[in-house]
Amino acid sequence: MKDISAIIINYNSSDFTLNCVKSILEKTSEKISYEIIVVDNASESDDFKKLNQSLEALQSLHITVVQSRYNTGFGGGNMYGVQFANAKYYAFINNDTLLQNDCLNIVYAFLENNKHVAICGPQQFNENGEVQKSFDHFLSLKREILGRKILEISNKKRYPQRQKVYSEPLKVESVPGSFLTVRAKQFHKVGGFDTNIFLYYEETDLCYRIAKSSDEGDCYLVPEGKFTHFKGQSTAKSMAIKMELRISLLYVLRKNSGYFAHKFLLWWFTIKSFFKMIFVPKSFPLFLMFLKGAPISASLKQKQTIAH
């Protein structure tokens, strides 16, 4: 068994994936045993061929490449990767990231030395070196209506400022899926990622379920570890993606906060999108989706086909 498995998903972005893997190989010292599992999530054949050849050229025994014939999304792709992993900890790392230092060793040591912690993540920066939001508050009706900034102003202890450079480990509610490390034991206990979710809020849902399932389910930001996230390179900015974001949000809220919170927020989004549509007619599909209840059946997951 390895100390840690780094699981990375590629979807038509092989250049980013290759650079991510190179940064892991370059920055990770041999203090720990590790493996890198690259999951190709049904990319175009040319992209997968390029990825496979490039990774083979690295001639590293740390790397395993597996291919899915079906685009299962973020959670599903990572769950597929877990089937090939054999480690005490899983590090789910977005392919559009670069490690700035020995992140895998840092998160491994932190989890080894803090048995009450189940999940942690390093400090996140963008390509310009500016600090990015490296953790989040749990999804809730209050958060969506009032906004995160109001929560952070009203209760600084419970809701620390997200976009800030920290120097000491900080207990938080969730860390982003761009770099999330979790104890395999707790991950298995709650069933891993919810594969009903195609994109967005998978990590929030996972952190919530692990926190509720165990007294050893704390989540921490570990700012000693640092990584660069180019953000959103695997998903195009489109109306379909905006709709997917809201579908996932409402699904996770319904799942973890209940029927009435879900219905109130759905009503809130419907009213807001109605008035926005008056001034921005191209947002009509979003309004129509809310009017229909934004069901999980409208997710992009239902539109995927199996590659031959």
Phi-psi label, residue 40: left if phi above 0, alpha if psi -120 to 50, beta otherwise: beta
Sole residue written with tokens 């977005």: 94
Q: Counting beta carbons within 10 angstroms of the beta carbon of residue 16, is it exposed (0 to 12), middle (13 to 18) or buried (19 or more)?
A: buried
Q: CATH topology for 2-229?
A: Spore Coat Polysaccharide Biosynthesis Protein SpsA; Chain A (3.90.550)
CA angle centred on 114, ends 61 and 6, rounded to 5°: 20
Domain boundaries, the chain: 2-229, 239-303
pLDDT of residue 235: 54
Phi and psi angles of residue 56, each rounded to the nearest 5 degrees, phi first: -60, -35
What is the pTM (predicted TM-score) of this model? 0.94
The Cα–Cα gap between 127 and 161 comes to 21
- Locate 278 and state its tokens: 């008056």
Give mean pLDDT in consecutive 10-residue pieces for the chain, a chain of 308 residues: 97 96 96 97 95 96 95 96 97 98 98 97 96 96 94 93 95 97 97 96 96 92 97 68 96 96 97 93 94 94 82
The Cα–Cα gap between 38 and 35 comes to 10
Sole residue written with tokens 């038509």: 12
Strand segments, DSSP code E, in 42-136 are: 63-68, 87-93, 97-99, 117-125
